[in-house]
A and B are shown apart, each in its own frame.
Chain A
Amino acid sequence: MQLRRYSFIVSKTREGTAFASLSEGAKWLAWGLPVPALISIILNSIANSHPGFTAAATIISNYVSLTVPLVAFNFMSSGSRSLLQKDKLQVTAQSAKLLVLGFVIIGVVFCYFIFRNLASLHAVSSQGPYYLPNWLLILTIIIPYLYSWLIGLLAAYEMWLVGNNVAGLLYRRSLQTMSRAIIIIVGASIAIQYIQSVNPSHGRLSLGYIVVFIYFILLIYAVGFILLALASNRLKKIEEV
Chain B
Amino acid sequence: MDSSSHNKLFDQVVRITHVYLGPAADRFIVRQIQNHLHKSPQELTRSDLTRLIDWIRVAVSLLTEDTEIIEEYTAQLELLAANTNHGASWHEAK
Decide whether A and B are members of one complex: yes
Among residues 1 to 57 in chain B, which have CB atoms less than 8 Å away from a CB atom of chain A? 18-25, 27-28, 31
When the two chains form the complex, which single residue of B25, B31, B59, B62 contacts A168, counting CB atoms closer than 8 Å?
A: B25
Closest Cβ neighbor of A167 among chain B residues: B22
Among residues 47 to 85 in chain B, which have CB atoms less than 8 Å away from a CB atom of chain A? 59-60, 62-64, 69
Interface digits, A151-184 against B, CB 8 Å rule (1 contact, 0 not)?
A: 0000000000000001111111100000000000
Interface digits, A4-46 against B, CB 8 Å rule (1 contact, 0 not)?
A: 0000000001110000000000000000000000000000000
Instruction: Please give the distance in Å from A239's CB to the nearest CB on chain B.
Output: 6
Known: A13-B27, A239-B27. A168 touches B63 (CB 8 A): no
When the two chains form the complex, which single residue of B22, B31, B59, B62 contacts A171, counting CB atoms closer than 8 Å?
A: B22
Q: Is A241 part of the binding interface, using a Cβ–Cβ cutoff of 8 Å?
A: yes
Instruction: Please give the distance in Å from B26's CB to the nearest CB on chain A.
Output: 9
Interface digits, A216-234 against B, CB 8 Å rule (1 contact, 0 not)?
A: 0000000000000000001
Find the residue from B19, B24, B59 having the highest chain A CB count within 10 A.
B24
Closest Cβ neighbor of A14 among chain B residues: B23
Instruction: Please give the distance in Å from B76's CB to the nearest CB on chain A.
Output: 12
When the two chains form the complex, which single residue of A14, A167, A172, A238 contacts B63, counting CB atoms closer than 8 Å?
A: A238
Instruction: Please give the distance in Å from B21's CB to the nearest CB on chain A.
Output: 5
Q: Which residues of B contact A173 (CB under 8 A)?
A: 64
Q: Is A97 part of the binding interface, using a Cβ–Cβ cutoff of 8 Å?
A: no
Q: Which residues of A contact B27 (CB under 8 A)?
A: 13, 239
Cβ contact within 8 Å between B69 and A170: yes
Closest Cβ neighbor of B32 among chain A residues: A241
Cβ contact within 8 Å between A239 and B24: yes
Cβ contact within 8 Å between A172 and B22: yes
Find the residue from B22, B28, B64 having the highest chain A CB count within 10 A.
B22
Instruction: Please give the distance in Å from A131's CB to the nearest CB on chain B.
Output: 50
Q: How far is the CA of A234 from the CA of B21 in the complex (A)?
A: 12
Q: Which residues of A contact B31 (CB under 8 A)?
A: 241
Q: Is A237 part of the binding interface, using a Cβ–Cβ cutoff of 8 Å?
A: yes
Cβ contact within 8 Å between B59 and A241: yes
Q: How far is the CA of A13 from the CA of B2 in the complex (A)?
A: 12
Q: How far is the CA of A173 from the CA of B64 in the complex (A)?
A: 10
Q: How far is the CA of A15 from the CA of B25 in the complex (A)?
A: 13
Cβ contact within 8 Å between A171 and B69: no
Cβ contact within 8 Å between B62 and A241: yes
Q: Which residues of A contact B18 (CB under 8 A)?
A: 167-168
Cβ contact within 8 Å between B23 and A169: no
Q: How far is the CA of A29 from the CA of B20 in the complex (A)?
A: 32
Using CB atoms and an 8 Å cutoff, list the residues of chain A in contact with chain B. 13-15, 86, 166-173, 234-235, 237-239, 241
Using CB atoms and an 8 Å cutoff, list the residues of chain B in contact with chain A. 18-25, 27-28, 31, 59-60, 62-64, 69
Q: Which 5 pairs from chain A and chain B are nearest by CB?
A: A168-B22, A171-B22, A167-B22, A241-B59, A168-B21
* Further 13 A-B residue pairs, CB within 8 A, beyond A14-B23, A168-B20, A168-B24: A166-B22, A167-B18, A168-B21, A168-B25, A169-B20, A170-B22, A171-B24, A172-B22, A173-B64, A238-B63, A239-B24, A239-B28, A241-B59
